[in-house]
A and B are shown apart, each in its own frame.
Chain A
Amino acid sequence: MGLENFSYSHTIGIASFQGRGFMNPVDVRLDSTGLLFVLSRSNAGNKDVRISAQTLDSEYLYEFGRWGTEPGQTTQPTAIAIDKDDRIYATDEFMHNVTVFNREGQFVDRWGEFGTGPGQFDRPSGIAIDSEGNIHVVDHLNARVQKLTPDGGFISSFGASGTAPGQFNFPWGISIDRADGIWIADWRNDRIQRFTKTGEFVSTLGSSGRANGQFDRPSGVHVSADGEVFVADWRNDRVQAFSEDGAHIETLTGDATLSKWCQEFLDVNPEQASWRENAGLFEQEKRFWRPSAVETSADGLVLIADSCRHRIQIYRHAHAAVPV
């Protein structure tokens, strides 16, 4: 059965340890010019982590934030956010800090340290920026969300460990909606929680399971400018779309075609292309494998970090105009 509200557009990516391509992309964000930034997590031990910049039509530009503990390097990066000046903020779960880069990938600042106090982190994961430029960080193992100034100054926090409304169990992703409401992927509670801009609990979306509206370890949540809510339903290998009031709209399971980079790879490696043809797993190739984050563009694109297939699958909202 075809999709009703979205149409598959194209895929960007190829498995790659450096340069053009991704290695376990866990987050994806667009800057104000439409440049695509992808965070490759990899295994820290393999040291292939990086943030890469490319255009939406697969022109690779540059990479930064590669493995290391020095300023400008990352070790176990988990999420990125981009502010109105196109500075890129990256959380790091190993170093318990946030590194700030400019649009060209040059190191700007680094703040945060391990701890439980204000402005300290225990494995910071999701990160998002509100309309006033404040930075919101999901302080993963401290089971809270911290609001900070762009240079890491503590403003406020909310949340505690648990399963009750307003509490978190290994939270991961975060999104700020058009009214500066805060949405959290409460990962191990299998739900999305919505809060006001000051951290008061509003509502819960989802429960454990595989039915529409249910989740198995949701890693990412993203609220579009139109108010649609996208959830990366991580262990169910799918993305679900909801209205802002929680009504299920559609479930995406992946429709990938070969990316431009993959096609070029197979063109120059005919033996590999032959193996692929013999295997004939074309349907399996299309599907998401642990999609972990969602981004949307103002012109109706939905971008999904397909983390175990090393690519970004891109959909277009049905109401969006297709560019000529």
Chain B
Amino acid sequence: MTTVATKQEDVAAVAHLLRRAGFGATRDQIDQYAARGYEATVEELLNPRYGEPEDQDLMDRYFIASVEARSPGHADPQWAWRLATSEKPLEEKIALFWHGLFAVGGVKLDHGLEMLTEIDLFRRAGLGSFRTILFEISRNPGMMYWLDNQNSHKDAPNENYGRELLELFSMGIDDLGGGAYKEDDVKAAARAFTGWASKPTPPPFFLGPFPMEFRFDPSDHDGAEKSFLGKTGNFNGEDIIDIIVSERATARFIAKRLYLFFVSDEPDEGEIERLADCFQETGGDIRSILRSLFNSDHFKSAAVRFRKVKSPAELVFGAARLTDRFEIPDMDSSTLANYALFMGQHLLNPPSVEGWHEGEEWVDSGSLLERINFAASEVGRRTSPGVTRMLRRVESAGSDLQPGEFVEACLDALGAIDLSQRSKAVLIEHAAQDGPVLSGTPDGAERTIEMFQLIVSTPDYQYC
């Protein structure tokens, strides 16, 4: 028998899943997913059908400069639209994950078109084999340019890509990584990737940008014998990737990064080891690892709910999705990425090859103000379809809501979210000042909107 409490827990679990595997969802969407069941929802999220979205033509039509995006700023409207409206939230979330891990910055690669191509690589391959992802990013012309591999020659290898490949993209230097590879391995990797580069393109200043392409120059490739991580052979870049992917350190590194991105800002070593095992058992299949992660008791537990600081992208696009106000691309949708920028996350332009420092570092006094102002402004859009539905949902909770009931109804309408008892007490006290809330009245709607805005202004709302 399904009890009310069980149903509430099902809804809360699915809401948690959608906040982590996506950017949150409206209360109606949560109900729809919950009706299908938690594990079915996990499968749906993990198996998006890759392809050009049906509204890509509209995006291109209204924002023609983003079709030939010469800079990350010109490309912003494209990704912002997807982040705000995609019905395949994990496809965008995993793209955001890899974008932070394989960080290519617009400061040097000032080529919005290539940035969008790279994001699409992550959509297409991001839930598949890590080996494939690593191979594709190693042939990504933007990455080759960003890490100077076009300057890596047979007679004079540039170690930049080989070093970051090991340190930041696969094995890491923390934990086990400190002893997992040596300086000689970096040098061998650099030699193996000589000849991997991007084709030159004409400068964008007079005709706009041209699509970048990968180029392998066999005459500039060092095909001689190399020793790498204890193995010896005439390795090329692909061989290096195969060896890297088979290492336990790589399994742990990727497991940890996935854990920190999807589960909690505080690592749980036992859970990370379990995910690393899954990585090795499945040959580095990201979909399998995430399935194991999302279906674990650890992920579903209260211990990790609302314990992860929302990134600016999660906050901005989560709030925008709540309002459900973007039917077709418009000026507002094109500027959404700017708000994430104001909060410290310049999408398509991470600050360095290390990507963003996440967790508590997202929030300082300046960014907190931006976060609160933006979220409060979004949930205050009373004519937007999403806010209208939220108002109706609060009204349907009862015609004469006591302060505690009123706060709970508002939290539920905002996507089955929860707050600390302390925050709730403050909100209930505030609601009590004006007595019961009479639903369906102008005053009731006014107070409900105000409560939405107060909720998204709490410290708790900064967590997902």
Contact = CB atoms under 8 A, between A and B. Distances in A.
A266 B64 contact: no
A-B pairs, top 9 by smallest CB distance, nearest first, are A43-B65, A308-B68, A276-B202, A279-B200, A279-B202, A278-B200, A272-B203, A262-B206, A24-B64
Interface in B52-70: 57-58, 60-68, 70
B206 A14 contact: yes
A294 B280 CA distance: 58
Contacts, number: 98
B210 interface: yes
Contacts of B74: 43, 46
A217 B58 CA distance: 10
B346 to A, nearest CB: 15
B65 A281 contact: no
B210 A284 contact: yes
B205 A23 contact: no
Nearest to A272: B203
Interface string A3-34: 00000000000110000000110100000000
Given A24-B64, A44-B331, A46-B65, A309 B208 contact: yes
Contacts of B73: 45-46
Interface in A219-272: 219, 235, 261-262, 265-266, 269, 272
Interface string B180-201: 0000000000000000000111
B328 to A, nearest CB: 8
Interface of A: 14-15, 23-24, 26, 41-46, 75-76, 93-94, 141, 170, 172, 187-188, 217, 219, 235, 261-262, 265-266, 269, 272, 275-276, 278-279, 281, 284-285, 289-290, 292, 307-311
Contacts of A284: 210
Among A26, A46, A292, find the residue whose CB has the most chain B CB atoms closer than 10 A. A46
Contact of A310 (B58, B200, B207): B207
A292 B64 CA distance: 10
Given A43-B77, A308-B64, A308-B208, A94 B201 contact: no
Contact of A285 (B57, B65, B66, B202): B202
A75 B330 CA distance: 12
B201 A279 contact: yes
A120 B16 CA distance: 45
Contacts of A26: 64
15 contacts: A15-B70, A15-B208, A41-B64, A41-B65, A46-B65, A76-B331, A94-B330, A188-B57, A217-B57, A262-B206, A265-B206, A272-B206, A279-B210, A285-B207, A292-B64
Contacts of A265: 205-206
A187 B62 CA distance: 13
Given A14-B206, A265-B205, A43 B61 contact: no
Contacts of B66: 43
B234 interface: no
B150 to A, nearest CB: 11
Contacts of B201: 279, 281
A141 B62 CA distance: 12
A281 B207 CA distance: 12
B67 A308 contact: yes
B60 to A, nearest CB: 8
B206 A24 contact: no
B439 interface: no
B57 A15 contact: no
B334 interface: yes
Contact of B77 (A41, A45, A281): A45
A172 B335 CA distance: 24
A188 B57 CA distance: 9
Contact of B67 (A45, A188, A290, A310): A290
A76 B76 CA distance: 17
A217 B61 contact: yes
B385 interface: no
Nearest to B65: A43
B199 A279 contact: yes
Interface in B30-76: 57-58, 60-68, 70, 73-74, 76
A172 to B, nearest CB: 8
A45 B208 contact: no
Nearest to A187: B61
Interface string B218-253: 000000000000000000000000000000000000
Contacts of A46: 65, 73-74
Contacts of B77: 43, 45
A179 B206 CA distance: 40
Contacts of B210: 279, 281, 284
Given A43-B74, A281-B210, 14 more contacts: A15-B204, A43-B334, A45-B77, A45-B331, A45-B334, A94-B331, A170-B58, A187-B61, A217-B61, A235-B57, A266-B206, A279-B202, A284-B210, A289-B208
